[in-house]
Structure 1
């Protein structure tokens, strides 16, 4: 383990690794070009995570554009346009991913692609209709995750085998930052819900204060309800068990379940999932 590490970028991989190596005793600096971390996640909980990491010793440098990394013996110097200079044992470049479309002969065979990846239609076919694509290399808005790649591959297999001829229909897709603690999200965001108060109710559920969540009194959940149907249409969870809990809420969101539907079921007691399912009541924060 290096004594010091600089992460260039404050995205998913950066904060996941920073959460771990700070606990292993390394000095950690995170340099980010923009003014925020984890831009795709709800910023209320991202700020809570950043504050926790700062309290543990992580130094964040926002609005800093790195312009050079120089090797000096066994160490490195990272400099930014502002004059920021960081000496470190290890530099981790995590500024994002690019679709690996080069060197595949796509131009020669006539497969269309963009900077975002390979272009596909609603059946995941390329411009050559007998060539399908799945996974991160697709130019798409759907989150580029292992589960979505698996879903796409299974869909393509069904197309090829003649078991399905319908356009692909993505279900609700959860995504998780495996930071310490975790942040998990699905569906409509709190920001989108608050922007349309006539249509949505946004409720904050501090479930960590009332239930056994491994001594996490800061664990919290924000739920977005559709007023007309009382269905849960989005959720963000902050806490160590967020990944497991978001998988439960994936069923609730994707299947359009209401509090009345959930009240007709019996869940295992006294697990924390039992508690949060009982809290999904649009008429009261605690259900």
Structure 2
């Protein structure tokens, strides 16, 4: 029986980083993956989704190019060609991940890994690797990094809906799409399908999309949905999906019935832990996620968990950071640190949205606030007369002058907010922004030219 210092279950972003760093620090490391090397992000998430966002963006840019003197006309979009190109790029990335692990000296296993006991792992054939022979190995330390899986609503006819995993492999682009859910995935795919020419309905329970983001940005996004050809069906929920001769009928609880070719459930994700055999070793879970402390430790001393299975941040960069920190703590020289509280996040909609730090609603619980905002038409839209304004926002502590949060919706917002994430993480003050000279003409310079506060917001607690 092979024995290792570390065995990682799941070769997604966090698991790969943990395995590679541990191996580079001299540990005997193995990793098991049942389906896709690189995990959800590379295969069924961030990377292919953004490639599809680019595809939709190119169509809009062709339309706008005429206003800049180009004699061009938008033609037919070849969905099959896009999917084929996307698949080739994902295959290339799969190879890079495998090569990276092998070069680091990590032993690779393909198949379904499950826990036999607290230091024994069984790797069995999976539906995607049926030729694999069942093997059993031992490890002094085990890391669970199996990510998450799309969640389906429990409604009549749910089997007729697709989820995000399916959307990347559709043979044809549906002409009519009903997207259920207005989180990251729902908003992004609504923009993708609408941008490629589909008729899109976005159905969500809240009165505004993107729960958890700053309220002002959510309201601004709601105004952008119809501008981009998306019908927002807010404050309603699906009741059932009916299969009919020419597609589907999605019945909503407000009495509306949507005729569609595709029902897309973007209703969240759940930790992918059901097949791991956690009950065998008494590993503690809470509400379907693995319970860990600040050191990624579970209730079993030598078993750890990182990434989406702990359902904390559910972002690729945070999983990578967790894996790196854990590997160094176990086998290297601890010292590297990340500021998880100021993790930036982005939604790659037609007009992308990005955010770092506290929202106004979060900050007002403990701070008196000065709010600075700016709304304008970006220069690239002036000649084309494309609708949709930029919104920028700074949330500032009224007493210390520290910038607590930065938020933006508009072109290049993820690239701009990544830079501002450094400032927010460093605890810079609004006066530091004010004394910075802008780079002109850019949208980004607006963040350093906001001089007059939009409003003062006293602390909700009234104790500041």
TM-score range, shorter chain: 0.7 to 0.9
Give yes or no for the alignment of 1:179 onto 2:370: no
Write the mapping of 1:251-262 to structure 2, written as runs, cut at 5 A: 251-261=422-432
Give yes or no for the alignment of 1:200 onto 2:369: yes
Give yes or no for the alignment of 1:148 onto 2:318: yes
CA distance in 1, matches of 2:388, 2:187: 22
Q: Secondary structure at the match of 1:38?
A: coil
CA distance in 2, matches of 1:55, 1:280: 27
1:102 Cα deviation from its structure 2 partner? 0.6
Give yes or no for the alignment of 1:190 onto 2:375: no
- Matching residue within 147, 161, 164 for 2:334: 164
CA distance in 2, matches of 1:137, 1:223: 33
Indicate the larger mover: 48-57 or 23-32: 48-57
For structure 1, list consecutive stretches of 5 or more residues without a partner in the other structure: none
Give yes or no for the alignment of 1:56 onto 2:228: yes
| Alpha-carbon spacing, 1:58–1:166, altered in 2? closer, same or farther (3 Å) | closer
Show CA shifts across 1:9-39 (max 9, x none).
1221111111121122211111213333111
Q: Secondary structure at the match of 2:270?
A: coil
Show CA shifts across 1:36-85 (max 9, x none).
31111123222222222213332222232212112224511111233321
Indicate the larger mover: 71-80 or 236-245: 71-80
1:231 Cα deviation from its structure 2 partner? 1.6
Choose between structure 1 and 2 for higher RCO, CA contacts under 8 A separated by at least 6 residues: 2
Give yes or no for the alignment of 1:23 onto 2:195: yes
Q: Secondary structure at the match of 1:234?
A: strand
- The answer to whether the Cα contact below 8 Å between 1:29 and 1:59 also exists between their aligned partners in 2 is yes
- Matching residue within 400, 407, 414 for 1:243: 414
CA distance in 1, matches of 2:415, 2:446: 12
- The answer to whether the Cα contact below 8 Å between 2:401 and 2:431 also exists between their aligned partners in 1 is no
Name the residue aligned to 1:222: 393
- The answer to whether the Cα contact below 8 Å between 1:70 and 1:76 also exists between their aligned partners in 2 is yes
- The answer to whether the Cα contact below 8 Å between 1:10 and 1:31 also exists between their aligned partners in 2 is yes
- The answer to whether the Cα contact below 8 Å between 1:5 and 1:89 also exists between their aligned partners in 2 is yes
- The answer to whether the Cα contact below 8 Å between 2:273 and 2:309 also exists between their aligned partners in 1 is yes
CA distance in 1, matches of 2:339, 2:364: 27
Greater helix share, structure number: 2
Write the mapping of 1:130-145 to structure 2, written as runs, cut at 5 A: 130-140=302-312, 143-145=313-315
- The answer to whether the Cα contact below 8 Å between 2:227 and 2:388 also exists between their aligned partners in 1 is no
For structure 2, list consecutive stretches of 5 or more residues without a partner in the other structure: 1-172, 455-464
Q: Secondary structure at the match of 1:7?
A: strand
CA distance in 1, matches of 2:369, 2:193: 40
- The answer to whether the Cα contact below 8 Å between 1:99 and 1:115 also exists between their aligned partners in 2 is no
Q: Secondary structure at the match of 1:137?
A: helix
Name the residue aligned to 2:186: 14
- The answer to whether the Cα contact below 8 Å between 1:193 and 1:202 also exists between their aligned partners in 2 is no
Larger Rg: 2
| Alpha-carbon spacing, 1:116–1:213, altered in 2? closer, same or farther (3 Å) | farther
Instruction: State the superposition RMSD in angstroms.
Output: 2.7
Show CA shifts across 1:151-189 (max 9, x none).
111111111114228998635111111111111111121
Q: TM-score with structure 1 length normalisation?
A: 0.85
CA distance in 1, matches of 2:371, 2:405: 9
1:250 Cα deviation from its structure 2 partner? 0.4
| Alpha-carbon spacing, 1:78–1:260, altered in 2? closer, same or farther (3 Å) | closer
1:120 Cα deviation from its structure 2 partner? 0.3
1:267 Cα deviation from its structure 2 partner? 7.2
Name the residue aligned to 2:7: none
